[in-house]
Amino acid sequence: MDARQLAGGIRAGRLEPQALEEGFSDLHPPYDDHEALVAADRCYFCHDAPCATACPTSIDIPLFIRQIATGTPEAAAKTILSQNILGGMCARVCPTETLCEEVCVREVAEGKPVEIGRLQRYATDRIMARNIHPFERAAPTGKRVVVVGAGPAGLSCAHRLAMKGHDVVILDARAKPGGLNEFGIAAYKSTDDFAAREVDWLLGIGGITIETGRMLGRDLTLTELTSDYDAVFLGLGLGGVNTLGIEGDDREGVLNAVEFISELRQAGDLSALPVGRDVVVIGGGMTAVDAAVQAKLLGALNVTIVYRRSQARMAASAFEQELAQAKGVRIICNATPKGVHGNGAVREIEFEFTDDDLTPTGESFRLPADQVFRAIGQSLVTEGLPVLAGRKIAVEGPGRTSLPGVWAGGDCAAGGDDLTVTAVAEGRDAAEDIHATLMR
């Protein structure tokens, strides 16, 4: 064992640069031309393809795979992008194992699906590498639409509106556009600054202006936006982070997983990013897995995910769970945090075992920890927003809110899964409804 790994406390440089480069390399290397043809040849091109039905953006999957098989990957990319303008990122981060690939006929019959995600990446990477934008902007309509949030929902909505001939302004609180694609997913899923490159490519449609550092509620109000623009789309995401609500939650070393991932994604030098020796991640979703795996890849000696219910009920897919375990992450289930212990900084975190209905068993245990990451969900900052449904914005149909002229989609809107691909679909569908309303 490397002595630097054994060193206690939160510190940077636990691994050599070469080990960091290898650990954070592309999780699924792209197909070359021959590999893509072989993979495409496995598709049965089903007429009533269950994979297309399972895709939240309704991509015609058999068609685009057939286009790859016949040597026209640029046409395949257009088929994909006409439904999902962020098809390149979705090919990298979609849980295809629980969506299109889960229902693939090959998966049902043989236990090995057509690798739809990797084929989608092959086609979209091809068209982006050649800097081809396959869509043209319609004649100007004279209408102005503001999109709040430059994440997947906002970018999808803006692109579709720009295609229709509207002028679009995107406002985002952060210094860079991209939302969770840029700040919130594991670095090994989106290498070579892909999220930023995809945004630049998307803007090639024209008619879209992005203004960063503009936050709703701080720099402007919804009333001002509805007054200044013909329509408003809210793609805010979820800005708040849930706390543990236990004693010691504010100790030094207890951090939000989303902030850790964001800092890592924006780091120019991973060897300068500090990580603990004994890391505990609380949660059971994709964010928990991303934080845990990346802590391990940075050189943490012991990394443990603790989830309050059974492993079968974790929101992270079986593939993600297996990935974490393959990287050396331990998963403990049916345990809920009771207290964070230490003298100023965290040294241990105490848990109590529970039944799957969260009933305490009375049996507790402690884990050594110098770094604890909360990955127990995010919340919407709700001040000044339309009517809510629970803790999110209430929407009807294609994203219509309680306020005339205001639509919403993505993680901030009620009803959908918190997935990139779902956000893209909701932004696209809201744009179509906005266009129909404005041109009525």
Q: Which two tokens stand for residue 194?
A: 């892909």
d(Cα 112, Cα 53) in Å, to the nearest integer?
19
Q: Which amino acid is at 252?
A: E
Distances (CA, A) of 117 to 231, 309, 317, 348: 34, 30, 15, 40
Q: Closest Cα partner for 152 from 134, 167, 172?
A: 172
Maximum pairwise Cα distance, the chain: 69
CB atoms within 10 A of CB 106: 16
Q: Which amino acid is at 427?
A: G
Distances (CA, A) of 75 to 35, 36, 71, 138: 18, 15, 9, 21
Triad 24, 26, 27: Cα angle to 5° = 95
255 and 361 in a common domain: yes
155 and 124 in a common domain: no
Strand-pair partners of 247: 339
246 and 234 in a common domain: no
Q: Which amino acid is at 83?
A: Q
Query: How many structural domains comprise the chain?
Result: 3
| pLDDT given at position 240 | 85
108 and 51 in a common domain: yes
151 and 202 in a common domain: yes
Is residue 396 in some structural domain? yes
Do 423 and 94 touch, CB atoms closer than 8 A? no
CB atoms within 10 A of CB 85: 28
Is residue 432 in some structural domain? yes
Strands 167-172, 392-393: pairing is unpaired
Q: Is residue 142 classed exposed, middle or buried when 0-12, 13-18 and 19+ CB atoms within 10 A define those classes?
A: exposed
Is residue 134 in some structural domain? no
The domain boundary, picked from 377, 395, 428, lies at 377
User: pTM of the entire structure?
Assistant: 0.95
199 and 74 in a common domain: no
Q: Which amino acid is at 214?
A: R
Triad 423, 144, 140: Cα angle to 5° = 105
CB atoms within 10 A of CB 37: 16
List the chain pLDDT tens, one digit each, 440 residues. 566 676 678 999 999 999 999 999 999 999 999 999 999 999 999 989 999 999 999 999 999 999 999 999 999 999 999 999 999 999 999 999 999 999 999 999 999 999 999 999 999 999 999 999 999 999 999 999 999 999 999 999 999 999 999 999 999 999 999 999 999 999 999 999 999 999 999 999 999 999 999 999 899 999 999 999 999 999 999 988 899 999 999 999 999 999 999 999 999 999 999 999 999 999 999 999 999 999 999 999 999 999 999 999 999 999 999 999 999 999 999 999 999 999 999 999 999 999 988 999 999 999 999 999 999 999 998 778 999 998 899 999 999 999 999 999 999 999 888 899 999 999 999 999 999 999 98
Residue found by looking up tokens 């990580």 in the block = 275
DSSP string, 100-153: TTTT-HHHHHHS----HHHHHHHHHHHHHHTT-----PPPP-S-EEEEE--SHH
173 and 108 in a common domain: no
Do 191 and 24 touch, CB atoms closer than 8 A? yes
The domain boundary, picked from 377, 409, 428, lies at 377
Instruction: Give the CATH number, domain containing residue 417.
Output: 3.50.50.60
Do 277 and 247 touch, CB atoms closer than 8 A? no
Residue found by looking up tokens 């009533």 in the block = 48
Q: Which two tokens stand for residue 99?
A: 């969506």
Do 149 and 234 touch, CB atoms closer than 8 A? yes
Is residue 13 in some structural domain? no
Strand-pair partners of 144: 167
Is residue 370 in some structural domain? yes
95 and 158 in a common domain: no
| pLDDT given at position 9 | 85
Contacts 24+ apart (CB under 8 A), 69-73: 69/37, 69/40, 69/41, 69/43, 71/37, 73/36, 73/122, 73/123, 73/126, 73/127
Structural domain of 302: 242-377
Q: Which amino acid is at 280?
A: V
Do 150 and 178 touch, CB atoms closer than 8 A? yes
Instruction: Give the CATH number, domain containing residue 49.
Output: 1.10.1060.10
| pLDDT given at position 343 | 92
Q: Percent helix, strand, coil in the chain (nearest 5)?
A: 40, 20, 40
In terms of residues, how long is the chain? 440
148 and 67 in a common domain: no
Is residue 353 in some structural domain? yes
Is residue 262 in some structural domain? yes
339 and 254 in a common domain: yes
267 and 212 in a common domain: no
Inter-axis angle of helices 61-69 and 73-81, nearest 10: 170
The domain boundary, picked from 377, 398, 430, lies at 377
Is residue 90 in some structural domain? yes
CB atoms within 10 A of CB 268: 6
347 and 287 in a common domain: yes
